[in-house]
Structure formats: C-alpha cells, structure tokens
Chains A and B, each alone.
Chain A
Amino acid sequence: MQPILKLDLTTGHTEEYHIPEKWEKDFLGGASLAARILYSTLTKELDPLSPESPLLFMMGPMTGTSGPTTGRFVICGKGPATGLWAESNIGGFWGPELRAAGYDGLWITGRASAPVYLWLNGSRLEIRSAAHLWGQNTYTTQDKVKEEVGEKSARVCVIGPAGEKQVLFASIMCDHGRMAGRTGMGAVMGSKNLKAIAVHGTNEIPVFDGTRYKALRSESNRKLRDDNEARVMREVGTAGAANYAEYLGAMPVKYYTSGSFPAVDEVSGAKMTDTILVGRSACQGCVIACGRVVKLPKDVSKRKGPEHETMVGFGANLLNDNLESIVDMGDLCDRYGMDTISTSNTIGLAFHLFEKGIITTEDTGGIELKWGDVDAIEQLVRMIGSREGIGDLLAQGSRLFGAHFGVEDEAVQVNGLEVAYHDPRGVSGMALSYATSPRGACHNQSDYFFVDWGHSNEEIGIEFLARHAQAEKAGNVARHQDWRSVDNAVVMCIFANVAPKEKVGLINAACGLDWSVADMMKFGERSWNLKRAINNRMGLNAQNDKLPKALLTPFPDGGSEGFVPDIEEMLISYYKHRGWDRETGKPSREKLLELGLDDMATDLWG
C-alpha cells in the first residue's frame, strides 16, 4: 500500500506513516484498516473535539480503480455525539485524487491556531490561511479553493458553517454534493480549524495484478450496468423505493408515530423523475449514477436532488408532501454542511415535543411547530446551521435535545446517532442493525432492509426470511454486517450488487491475495469485532444494544400495523451467533483469538 500522510495541525509537522504489512492483509483498507490504526488512540477519555482527536481520511485498496462503484473512501475518528467509533463513507472523486497523489490516507491531528485549508499537490503540502473562507458555505468554499490553487482538476473536501460551529452532526462534503454525512466528522474537522483540503495527483493508482483486475472489473461493471437494482437507482434514484417502503409500513411517518403516508406519490423518486429531474450524477467510475440533478421552476441553474433519506426525513417524517421544499431543505443542509438524517430527525423530535406540549413557543423563539409547515422547518434548519436560538440545542442532536427537556427516551436514536428512515417495525432485521451498529443507529453498516425487501444472498448464507421474522434472523444479520464490513474496507458502495465470488476475485487481484469467499467473510467478521472492541474500550456495553421507545411501540396504521420486533430475543440469538458475552457486551476472548485479534483479547479480558 501507499503511505498515509500524517499531519499535526498544531505544529505543522508532517510525516509518512507506513502501514505494517500484516495489517494490510488482516485489515485491508478503508474503515477496517482505519479502525486498526486508530485502535490505541481512541480511548474513553479522548474528547472528540480536542486537538488530540484523530481525523483519518482512509482509502481502500480499490478506491479510484474504476472497479464497480469504487470511487469511495471513509472518514474515521471518534464521534462527537456518540463518543463511539465513527466512520462516514463518501463518494465523489476526492479519494481517487488522493491516491493519485501517492497517499492511501490522510491522518490529521492537532488544531491550527487560525482557520486553514490544505493544498496537497502531489507530495507537496501547503497549509494556507482560510480566514477569508470561514463562514462560507460548502459550495462557495469548494469553488474558491479550487480557484485559489489554480489547478482545474484539483478535488476539494470542505466543511460548511455547521462544521465550523461544531454542530455535532456536521458533515464533510466533496465534489459538490457528495457527503460524508453521518457521525459528525465535519465537527471534528471544524474543531481543528480546518476548512478544506484540496488535492491533486497524477500518479497511476496501484493495483497488484492490473491485467487480471481490469478483466474482472470490466465483467463486473458490465453486469452491474444491467442489474435490476442498479437500473432502479439510475432511473429513479435511491428514493425510487419510497412507494414500496410505504406500502410495507417500513417508512416512518410523523416522527416514527405512523406507518402510513398516503401522499407518498408526491414525494418519491418516481415523482422527482417525472417532474424536476434534469440529469444524473455519478461518483468516479460508477456505472449506476444514483445522484439526482434537478431544476425547480424557480431555479436559474441545476442542483442536487434528494436521495431516499433526505426525501423521507424532510417529507413523511415531518408530514411534508411538498417535493420542492424537500429539494430546498436538502440543499440547505448541504450548504451548511449537515447530515440530513440527523437534522431532519432532530427537527422531527422538536415537532413531536411541541405537539405534546413539552416545548412551547417560548423555547422555539416564537415559532409554531406545526407538522408539514415548510417555513418552520426551514427556520429550524437555518437556526441549527448557525447555532442560533433553539438551534443551538438542536445542534447537539436528538439525544441531548431530548435530555435537555427531561425526555431523552422520546428521541429516536441509538447511542447518540439518530435512526435512519427504515423502520424495524416494517423490516425487522433493522432492529438488530440499529441496536448493534458500531456507530449508533446506522442503516449503512448493515442495510438489512434490502434483505427484508427480498435481496437474499445465498452464496454467503443470507437467505430470505419473512420481513417480520424475529430471532431466527439474527445469524443472517450478523453475516450481512460482516459482508458490509468488506465493502466499507474495500471501499465499495453498498448499492453495487456484486456477487461474493466476483468481489473476492476483485479483492485478490487488487491486493495480491488468495482469499476464498469464506476468507473474505472471516475478514468481515474480524472487522466487525475490532470495531466492537474499540467501542468496548470506550465504555460501550450490553446495555447500549437497544432500541428507542418509539420503535418498540406498534404502528397504529399502515402495512406493519401492530408489529414490533422482539429485540430482547433477537439480541440473545445475535450474541450467540457473534460469540459475544451477554453480560458485558464484549466479544469473548475465544472469538477475538479466533479472529487474530490477540491484542484486543488482552485489552478486554486481561
């Protein structure tokens, strides 16, 4: 692998960090390798927003190789809202550009004394003042930095005002609308006074066996182009399944209190395609092109359209059936640099508490929070992004917002990360996905809703079970988490329907390995357990594996009316499949040793 460039922003000192050879094989790259590298740094005492806190931009062995959906990378550290392992996956072109500059990662610590941005041109790094950029939105910042460095093909990662103000769910954006949305890595970047990172490289991106890799990637991309799911994503975007999710009662409505949204036709990927879609966008080398480009009647130029989470978060979640306003809210969050899931979820909690009389206009600064009121939603988004008024409280996320008013249990979150918009009352596997994810209530560490919709994968033992099946699903979920851990290491998009045998062939060709599918799955299991061990060291235990009250309350309506997942039974079965200790929540010593995680076995068990 290529080295990682390490930078201490306090001193300006740089050095090349060379990855131990054993780690390359055992942890491959992306989130898994980042977890191994940061393992000893991430302690319970570490303040995620302190200068000591690491921010690691980590590439995978296939990043930028034009393999199937492999333009991606991950940004890792300690989550400021969760206090746990944080990783955020992002596409675009920035990752490939960093690899072309000769690095497989950028590891930042310290804090600059004043706002700065980085300009990495090949192996030459400049730290430049960003005083004039502080306060600028994400789009403007990208344009200005690009203009200043004078290199047209430079790629730029940025934070917006929300990151500067350390909104706990601030995101990092690159290549215009591509976002590392979850876990607040934008706040960590802001805490370092780091506004942007521009990168340009001209090297060829290394793969172990180029000839073999090219042949495999060609075949894989060809299949992916014609794959049904890929065609759905391309044609109607990720929000294309909105109607189906609503039909199943798997789309949370009115802050997770209803499972029915009759207006779904008005706020779906299909509606967007029929009305305002003017183009599609793709990350580097991607044949799917799920990105939406839209133009509203009031617009003078084209802009990014919403994906599924933004569509539901600012749509059904807030009883808003106005598609154009959802485009606006997604755009506003992007400009401030905020995760649309956490933003809309936390706003949903505010509306919910307002309806219950727990907060009033005295708390909101006079704003009436009436469901579906687009003006009120927009005001809250702006107040969060600028941390003004009640926005300052909301900027801490739903857990702390709820706790402030004495109703933490009303917040639909797990371990400080807001639940995404795939309801486990409609697709029960998501109960375990949310409860056991290493980064809080995340839908991407295991997008098991796809399996519950019907996407089985028998080659790796993930069979199709009824969407309301309970504990019998636990082994399936564990295998799915391992499978996705492979993607997050490679780094490959979870929308790429690439068969296990094909995927392992690509990995072997790219990395010079001789893995079987079973080896690949064992690798995934190792990654999952490593992240668990990191979290155990930071204080996570079995009591953290839980669901919020709302998700254990039956929907009164819709396609999943009356059902709730039996999370206790599911967890008992899950722990057995995982080889985890039910009392402490730690992987057993035997399991850690079996996976070659000897150091972690010693740390957790003595």
Chain B
Amino acid sequence: MPAIFPSEEWLKGLEEKLNSDVRYGDIAKKWEGDLFFFIEPEGNLKEQLTFYLDLWHGKCRKVEYKPRPESYPNPVFTLTATYTNITALLTGQLNPMTAMMTSKLKVKGSMGYMMRNVPTVLDFVRVAQEVTQEIL
C-alpha cells in the first residue's frame, strides 16, 4: 500500500488505507465533505498538481488524480500548498496544525467546520503519512 508521492498509486493507496483504517473510520465518522488539493510547483515538481478525495462518514468514496478544477466546481474544501510544504507534512516535518495556523496550507471552505473537526484532520494526515513510502 505505501507508495511514492506524488503518484496515482499513492492516491489509490491513500483511498484504500482510509477505507480500511479502523481508527480513522471512527474519528471521521461525522465528517462530510470532499477535498480538492492544489500542489504548487517547487523543486522536483515542475507543474501544478491536483488531486481530489471525497470523504464521507469515515470512508473515502472517490479519488481522482490530476483532475481538472472544473470537474469539481464546488468542493467543501479547497486546499493549496507548495510542494515543499505538502511533502514536509507527509514526512512529519511540518505539523498539520502549524501548516493551517501559519497558512502554509491555505484553506478555502468553512473554517468553523474545520475547527470543529480537527481530530479528523489530524488523523487524515496520519493516514496520509503512513501511505507515503518516499517523496519524489
């Protein structure tokens, strides 16, 4: 299941892990919302990367690698980070709350909902870290 980030295999691995991880399933049981990620180019990433996850009640209903933004015009959250910051998150060098509080991870969507569900956010990041075998 662990894979190299960024890759479609990594995203599929994340989907699989989100759907099998008991702890995540429990913590995120009230979460309702899809995420659209923009990873801004930096270092080894030469062009903007996008991916999409539909998260619902502790499960991941759908993922898509490199979707076009117009395919998902109204995601509950749009998250934007540089390649450096997203990889720092995935390797545990950047704390998820630090990323949010210092706007290294830009969040578009309801901040109230996000703050009410911080445990879900933190556990989502834990799962993402666990499926990250290596950074490109």
Residues on A facing B (Cβ under 8 Å): 226-229, 231-232, 235-236, 240-241, 243-244, 247, 265, 268-270, 273, 450, 453-457, 464, 497
User: In the complex, what residues of A have CB within 8 A of residue B113's CB?
Assistant: 270
Q: Does B44 contact A (CB under 8 A)?
A: no
Q: List 26 A-B contacts (CB under 8 A).
A: A228-B100, A228-B101, A228-B107, A231-B107, A231-B111, A235-B110, A235-B112, A236-B111, A236-B112, A236-B115, A243-B116, A243-B118, A244-B118, A265-B116, A270-B112, A270-B116, A450-B101, A453-B101, A454-B95, A454-B100, A455-B98, A455-B102, A456-B95, A456-B102, A457-B102, A497-B102
Q: Are B97 and A268 in contact (CB under 8 A)?
A: no
Smallest Cβ-Cβ distance to A244: which chain B residue: B118
Cβ proximity bits B80-106 to A, threshold 8 Å, 1 near / 0 not: 000000000000000111111111011
Q: Are A269 and B98 in contact (CB under 8 A)?
A: no
Q: How far is the CA of A203 from the CA of B71 in the complex (A)?
A: 54
Determine chain A's interface SS by DSSP, over half rule. Answer: helix
User: In the complex, what residues of B have CB within 8 A of residue A450's CB?
Assistant: 101
Given A454-B98, A456-B98, residue A240 in contact with residue B115 (CB < 8 A):
yes
Q: Does B119 contact A (CB under 8 A)?
A: yes
Top 6 A-B pairs, shortest CB-CB distance: A454-B97, A236-B112, A454-B98, A455-B101, A232-B111, A244-B118
Number of A-B contacts (CB under 8 A): 69
Question: Smallest Cβ distance from B119 to chain A, in angstroms?
Answer: 6
Q: How far is the CA of A91 from the CA of B38 in the complex (A)?
A: 38
User: In the complex, what residues of A have CB within 8 A of residue B96's CB?
Assistant: 454
Q: Are A453 and B97 in contact (CB under 8 A)?
A: yes
Question: Smallest Cβ distance from B31 to chain A, in angstroms?
Answer: 13
Smallest Cβ-Cβ distance to A240: which chain B residue: B115
Residues on B facing A (Cβ under 8 Å): 95-103, 105-107, 110-119
User: In the complex, what residues of B have CB within 8 A of residue A247's CB?
Assistant: 118-119
Looking at the complex, which one of A232, A268, A270, A464 makes contact with B95 (CB distance below 8 Å)? A464
Question: Smallest Cβ distance from A250 to chain B, in angstroms?
Answer: 12
Q: How far is the CA of A229 from the CA of B102 in the complex (A)?
A: 8
Q: How far is the CA of A236 from the CA of B117 in the complex (A)?
A: 13
Q: Are B118 and A228 in contact (CB under 8 A)?
A: no
Q: How far is the CA of A235 from the CA of B112 in the complex (A)?
A: 6
Q: How far is the CA of A247 from the CA of B122 in the complex (A)?
A: 12
User: In the complex, what residues of B have CB within 8 A of residue A497's CB?
Assistant: 101-103
Q: How far is the CA of A273 from the CA of B112 in the complex (A)?
A: 8
User: In the complex, what residues of A have CB within 8 A of residue B103's CB?
Assistant: 226-229, 497
Q: Are A268 and B102 in contact (CB under 8 A)?
A: no
User: In the complex, what residues of A have CB within 8 A of residue B111's CB?
Assistant: 228, 231-232, 235-236, 240
Smallest Cβ-Cβ distance to B112: which chain A residue: A236
Q: How far is the CA of A211 from the CA of B62 in the complex (A)?
A: 52
Q: How far is the CA of A356 from the CA of B88 in the complex (A)?
A: 50
Q: How far is the CA of A236 from the CA of B101 in the complex (A)?
A: 15
Smallest Cβ-Cβ distance to B104: which chain A residue: A228
Q: Are A268 and B116 in contact (CB under 8 A)?
A: yes
Looking at the complex, which one of A226, A229, A235, A273 makes contact with B101 (CB distance below 8 Å)? A229
User: In the complex, what residues of A have CB within 8 A of residue B115's CB?
Assistant: 232, 236, 240-241, 243-244, 269-270
Q: Are B106 and A228 in contact (CB under 8 A)?
A: yes
Known: A226-B106, A229-B101, A240-B112; 19 extra A-B contacts, CB below 8 A, are A228-B100, A228-B103, A228-B107, A229-B103, A232-B115, A235-B111, A235-B112, A236-B112, A240-B111, A241-B115, A243-B116, A247-B119, A269-B112, A270-B112, A454-B99, A454-B101, A455-B98, A455-B102, A497-B102
Q: How far is the CA of A226 from the CA of B106 in the complex (A)?
A: 9
User: In the complex, what residues of A have CB within 8 A of residue B114's CB?
Assistant: 232
User: In the complex, what residues of A have CB within 8 A of residue B99's CB?
Assistant: 454
Q: How far is the CA of A227 from the CA of B108 in the complex (A)?
A: 10
User: In the complex, what residues of B have CB within 8 A of residue A236's CB?
Assistant: 111-112, 115
Q: Which of A227, A236, A269, A454 has the most CB of B within 10 A?
A: A454
